[in-house]
């Protein structure tokens, strides 16, 4: 720690708790003293606090001011005009009121996706949705980009998604009981520094490294060697991308035909195994899913498949499936097939055995902290019933009124006239960004709250500058954290930035519902109110919780350990009747009559193999995984993220053999392209990726450059009209905006096919580190001829 220990405060973030103090107009950051493995993402904090991309004042897109609300292809291309807060809020209130009066509240899409802050009160998604509920509701989204497939599938299989997503065996349990951990998608350490709400101590990275010392054999099945943890002796199986289901079925076939399965467990605790056996043996389609069949797809030898299956059946085995595997087309299948294989081994519900989902995908999966209730801001009731699966926003905006299937139901996309976004950046997490740009051109008005000029802010009409975590007071904790933190203000707000609560309260007052939104409380009063209610809940459970004043003075509060109950599947196994799950049968549904009854060709009633799409035009398989240098796109302007760039571009990792074939070398800037788009990236060579695979992490801020068509055809030379090149390296210009299946309609953006070549033009300068063109103007100088009164 620093020799000068004065003026330090403790706060928390999605990448963990840390110490911070103001130094002039910026901050200095240090690791929390309890954290022996602090996140490298702390290196992004200081630069982001006063970066040139900070939004200084409310701003309106010039075209919206000049021509009034309406669809526009100029979003993302226009300059902005700074206005006063009164002008901006008057315009916003008028637009909200006109939209709901003319088109109904379903024409408002409340697009907040969270992740803006670890604070429990200044949680942008909760703030926005509470406000929209107060004014009559909004079209909402369901599920997440991270687990969109699993959260729909798992209730059909085990009764509740949280049974697997939030109630995993802890790392100490695994260290004590597990002999063999088979990780489909690996256990990448880069992911575990991030947890919603943060952690005080990053224990998972230490636990991963110590697995070998505990006697746990780890097999990491992934195209990427770095998806294996730094565990001594961890074995890497470099599987062909998107073929995990084939390998799982080949393993299951060996378990079945070698009579290594557990018929007692399957009969008592599961339904549908006869259908599974018929499929594995090829009785319906004439194709036995044996080891040779699996080897032909996954490029793992049949000998190795049989050996692994026999080892899994002979030991206490935990099969894990990362969230990344369900973020592909037919992403439901790896989860279903992994659960099926684990059920056949008969170890589900045993300590350290069976099936896990999400280990290595998020820092709190496997953590030991008790899942205590946390303070939260009530959102109220949404009176609007229309919704979309979260990853279908472009479909909704481009095709209002069209039909979509979802989890057995048939729905129609609403006609959205106003998009209101706070606390998220869809131009980070959505796919096919050129298509998303077209979609964002369809509404009458797009409103964004943002601290920075992200691509989403640049594609808005009304941009309202909001404070960052360090510019306001809050309280924060993660879902399994050991501490609750006071989050004091460290810096004064940048420019004219305001917090989301103040902005929304001012709009609510203009619409006549101010008291309903605020309940008469200031932010400071809300913090005391939320803490007080939480304190009373825990005191009823006989936990000694100090007063708010004492807590704030201390800066943090060690949370009571509580009682960690057996996992739901352990409790289920202990039930002699074996029918305690909230499924139609009460058991694990290896074959689901409910899903089969939906009649979805792309998601039948049991785990099924679907061959991945292949396209000889684009010989490389791109994996768009989570970055190690930032949280999604958050922090991309920070030091840790910027130090990873090559010539200002996001790095793309290639096998030396592929680089030689394509005539590129270490440090070259290349154009990565397919039919959907193109981006620039800097080459990094590594033999720790499987040949034929390239890796370009998500999160580089989208930097579209419109280049003229040179007549050479789509993406064989310059970018054709309406297909911008991302000069910065965002892989989502390349990924396909298709659903996982009709069941979940989840995000399928983890994989795509691409080709690579040296960039043939002078390198365009990245613009993400600078704000867009902004015209400073007073309200009296505005051209308001077309702006509604």
Q: What one-character DSSP code corresponds to residue 573?
A: H
Cα–Cα distance for residue pair 83/80, rounded to 1 Å: 10
Q: Residue 718 has what pLDDT?
A: 40
* First and final C-alpha spacing in the chain: 56
Q: Residue 562 has what pLDDT?
A: 62
137: number of Cβ within 10 Å = 22
Cα–Cα distance for residue pair 597/409, rounded to 1 Å: 11
Is 293 an annotated catalytic residue? no
- Are 37 and 621 in contact, with CB atoms under 8 Å apart? no
Cα–Cα distance for residue pair 504/130, rounded to 1 Å: 9
Which three-class secondary structure string do you get for 163-175? Answer: HHHCCCCCHHHHH
Same domain, 178 and 127: no
Walking along the chain (789 residues) 10 residues at a time, the average pLDDT comes out as 70 97 94 95 96 98 97 97 98 98 98 86 96 98 96 98 91 96 97 93 90 94 95 93 98 98 97 98 97 98 98 98 98 98 98 97 88 89 98 98 98 98 93 97 98 98 98 94 96 98 98 98 98 94 93 95 79 89 97 98 98 92 97 96 97 98 98 97 98 98 78 40 85 98 98 96 91 76 47
Angle at 14 between CA 12 and CA 15, to 5 degrees: 85
Same domain, 585 and 628: no
Same domain, 672 and 652: yes
Burial class (CB in 10 A: 0-12, 13-18, 19+), 266: buried
Cα–Cα distance for residue pair 262/273, rounded to 1 Å: 11
Same domain, 250 and 270: yes
Same domain, 211 and 355: yes
Cα–Cα distance for residue pair 494/56, rounded to 1 Å: 7
- 659's CB contacts (< 8 A; 6+ apart) are 665, 666, 683, 685
Same domain, 586 and 636: no
The DSSP-derived string for 36-70 is SS--GGGGGHHHHHT-TTB--S-EEEHHHHHH-SS
577 lies in some domain = yes
787 lies in some domain = no
User: Rounded to the nearest 5°, which phi and psi values hold at 528?
Assistant: -65, -40
DSSP H or E segment with residue 389: strand 387-389
Q: Which residues pair with 271 in a beta bridge?
A: 589
Which CATH number fits the domain that encloses residue 515? 3.40.50.740
Residue tagged active-site, from 18, 115, 600, 618 = 115
243 lies in some domain = yes
Strand 620-623 to strand 693-695: parallel, antiparallel, or no bridges (unpaired)? parallel
Residue tagged active-site, from 15, 18, 113, 453 = 113
Which CATH number fits the domain that encloses residue 191? 3.40.228.10
- Are 639 and 44 in contact, with CB atoms under 8 Å apart? yes
Burial class (CB in 10 A: 0-12, 13-18, 19+), 408: middle
- Are 393 and 459 in contact, with CB atoms under 8 Å apart? no
Same domain, 312 and 177: yes
Is 138 an annotated catalytic residue? no
- Are 110 and 118 in contact, with CB atoms under 8 Å apart? no
Cα–Cα distance for residue pair 691/620, rounded to 1 Å: 9
Which three-class secondary structure string do you get for 657-726? Answer: HHHHHHCCCCCCEEEEECCCCEEEEEEEECCCECCCEEECCCCCCCCEECCCCCCCCCCCCCCCCCCCEE
Q: Name the one residue in this structure whose structure tokens are 């990427």.
A: 224
542 lies in some domain = no
Query: 602-641: buried (b, 16+ CB within 10 Å) or exposed (e) per residue?
Result: bbbbbbbbbebeeeeebebbbbbbbbbbbbbbbbbbbbbb
Cα–Cα distance for residue pair 655/129, rounded to 1 Å: 45
555 lies in some domain = no
Same domain, 445 and 590: no
Q: Which of 477, 388, 452, 502 is nearest to 701 (CA)?
A: 452
80 lies in some domain = yes
Same domain, 350 and 400: no
781 lies in some domain = no
615 lies in some domain = no
Domain count, the chain: 4
Cα–Cα distance for residue pair 691/675, rounded to 1 Å: 22
Same domain, 323 and 176: yes
- 93's CB contacts (< 8 A; 6+ apart) are 507, 510, 511
Residue 706 tokens, joined: 């419109």
Q: Name the one residue in this structure whose structure tokens are 């299951």.
A: 252
Same domain, 20 and 121: no
Q: Name the one residue in this structure whose structure tokens are 């130094």.
A: 23
Integer Rg of the chain from CA: 26
Cα–Cα distance for residue pair 119/197, rounded to 1 Å: 7
- Are 71 and 442 in contact, with CB atoms under 8 Å apart? yes
Cα–Cα distance for residue pair 274/593, rounded to 1 Å: 13
Which CATH number fits the domain that encloses residue 674? 2.40.40.20
Which three-class secondary structure string do you get for 316-333? Answer: CEEEEECHHHHCCCCCHH
Q: Which of 313, 325, 305 is nearest to 186 (CA)?
A: 325
- Are 95 and 789 in contact, with CB atoms under 8 Å apart? no
The DSSP-derived string for 93-155 is HHHHHHHHHHH-GGGEEE-----S-SBSSS-HHHHHHHHHHHTT--BEEES-TTTTTHHHHHH
Angle at 276 between CA 270 and CA 278, to 5 degrees: 135
- 540's CB contacts (< 8 A; 6+ apart) are none
Residue 669 tokens, joined: 């800037």
The answer to whether the predicted template modeling score (pTM) of the entire model surpasses 0.85 is: yes
- Are 652 and 681 in contact, with CB atoms under 8 Å apart? yes
- Are 667 and 682 in contact, with CB atoms under 8 Å apart? yes
User: Rounded to the nearest 5°, which phi and psi values hold at 220?
Assistant: -100, 120
Same domain, 307 and 351: yes
Residue 184 tokens, joined: 């489909």
- Boundaries of domain holding 268: 168-370+568-597
């Amino acid at each position: 720690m620093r020799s000068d220990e004065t003026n330090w405060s403790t706060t928390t973030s999605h990448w963990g708790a840390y110490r911070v103090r103001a130094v002039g107009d910026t901050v200095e950051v240090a690791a929390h003293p309890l954290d022996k493995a602090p996140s490298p993402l702390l290196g992004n904090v200081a630069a982001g606090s006063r970066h040139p991309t900070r939004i200084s004042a409310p701003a309106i897109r010039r075209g919206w001011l000049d021509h009034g609300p309406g669809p526009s292809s100029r979003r993302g291309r226009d300059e902005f005009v700074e206005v006063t807060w009164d002008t901006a809020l008057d315009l916003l209130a008028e637009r909200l009121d006109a939209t709901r009066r003319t088109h109904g509240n379903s024409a408002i899409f409340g697009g907040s996706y969270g992740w803006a802050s670890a604070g429990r009160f200044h949680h942008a998604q909760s703030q926005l949705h509470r406000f929209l509920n107060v004014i009559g509701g909004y079209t909402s989204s369901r599920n997440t980009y991270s687990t969109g497939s699993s959260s729909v599938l798992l209730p059909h299989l085990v009764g509740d998604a949280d049974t697997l997503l939030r109630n995993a065996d802890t790392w100490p349990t695994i260290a004590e009981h597990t002999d063999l951990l088979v990780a489909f998608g690996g256990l990448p350490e880069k992911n575990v520094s991030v947890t919603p709400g943060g952690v005080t101590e990053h224990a998972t990275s230490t636990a991963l490294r110590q697995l070998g010392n505990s006697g746990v054999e780890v097999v990491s099945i992934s195209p990427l060697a770095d998806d294996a943890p730094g565990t001594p002796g961890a074995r890497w199986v470099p599987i062909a991308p998107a073929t995990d289901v084939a390998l799982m079925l080949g393993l299951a076939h060996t378990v079945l035909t070698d009579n290594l399965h557990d018929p007692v467990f399957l009969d008592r605790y599961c339904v549908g195994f006869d259908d599974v056996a018929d499929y594995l043996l090829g009785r319906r389609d004439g194709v036995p899913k044996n080891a040779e069949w699996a080897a032909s797809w996954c490029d793992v030898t049949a000998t190795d498949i049989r050996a692994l299956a026999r080892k899994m059946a002979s030991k206490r085995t935990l099969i894990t499936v990362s969230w990344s595997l369900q973020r592909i087309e037919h992403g439901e299948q790896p989860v279903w097939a992994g659960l099926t294989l684990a059920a056949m081994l008969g170890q589900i519900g045993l300590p350290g055995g069976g099936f896990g989902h999400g280990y290595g995908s998020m820092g709190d999966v496997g953590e030991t902290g008790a899942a205590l209730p946390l303070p939260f801001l009530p959102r109220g009731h949404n009176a609007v019933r229309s919704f979309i699966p979260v990853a279908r926003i472009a479909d909704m905006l481009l095709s209002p009124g069209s039909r979509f299937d979802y989890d057995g139901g048939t729905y129609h996309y609403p006609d959205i006239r106003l998009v209101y976004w706070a606390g998220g950046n869809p131009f980070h997490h959505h796919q096919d960004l050129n298509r998303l740009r077209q979609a964002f051109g369809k509404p009458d008005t797009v409103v964004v709250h943002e601290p920075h000029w992200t691509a989403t802010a640049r594609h808005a009409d009304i941009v309202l500058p909001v404070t960052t975590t360090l510019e306001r007071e809050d309280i924060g904790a993660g879902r399994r954290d050991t501490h609750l933190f006071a989050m004091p203000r460290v810096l004064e707000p940048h420019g004219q930035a305001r917090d989301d609560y103040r902005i929304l309260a001012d709009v609510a007052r203009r619409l006549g519902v101010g008291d309903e939104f605020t309940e008469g409380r200031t932010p400071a009063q809300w913090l005391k109110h939320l803490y007080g209610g939480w304190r009373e809940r825990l005191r009823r459970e006989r936990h000694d919780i100090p007063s708010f004043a004492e807590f704030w003075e201390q800066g943090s509060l060690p949370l009571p350990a509580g009682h960690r109950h057996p996992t739901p599947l352990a409790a289920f196994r202990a039930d002699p009747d074996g029918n305690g799950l909230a499924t139609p049968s009460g058991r694990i549904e290896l074959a689901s009559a409910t899903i089969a009854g939906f009649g979805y060709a792309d998601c039948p009633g049991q785990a099924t193999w679907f061959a991945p799409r292949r396209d000889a035009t684009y010989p490389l398989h791109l994996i768009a995984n989570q970055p190690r240098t930032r949280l999604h796109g958050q922090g991309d302007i920070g030091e840790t993220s910027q130090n990873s760039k090559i010539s200002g571009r996001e790095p793309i990792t290639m096998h030396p053999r592929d680089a030689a074939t394509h005539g590129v070398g270490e440090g070259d800037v290349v154009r990565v392209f397919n039919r959907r788009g193109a981006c620039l990236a800097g080459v990094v060579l590594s033999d720790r990726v499987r040949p034929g695979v390239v890796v370009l992490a998500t999160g580089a801020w989208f930097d579209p450059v419109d280049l003229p068509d040179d007549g050479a055809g789509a993406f064989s030379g310059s970018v054709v009209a309406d297909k911008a090149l991302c000069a910065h390296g965002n892989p989502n210009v390349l990924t396909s905006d298709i659903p996982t299946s009709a069941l979940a309609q989840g995000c399928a953006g983890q994989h795509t096919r691409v080709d690579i070549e040296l960039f043939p033009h002078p390198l365009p300068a990245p613009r993400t580190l600078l704000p867009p063109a902004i015209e400073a103007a007073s309200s009296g100088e505005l051209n308001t001829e077309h702006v509604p009164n």
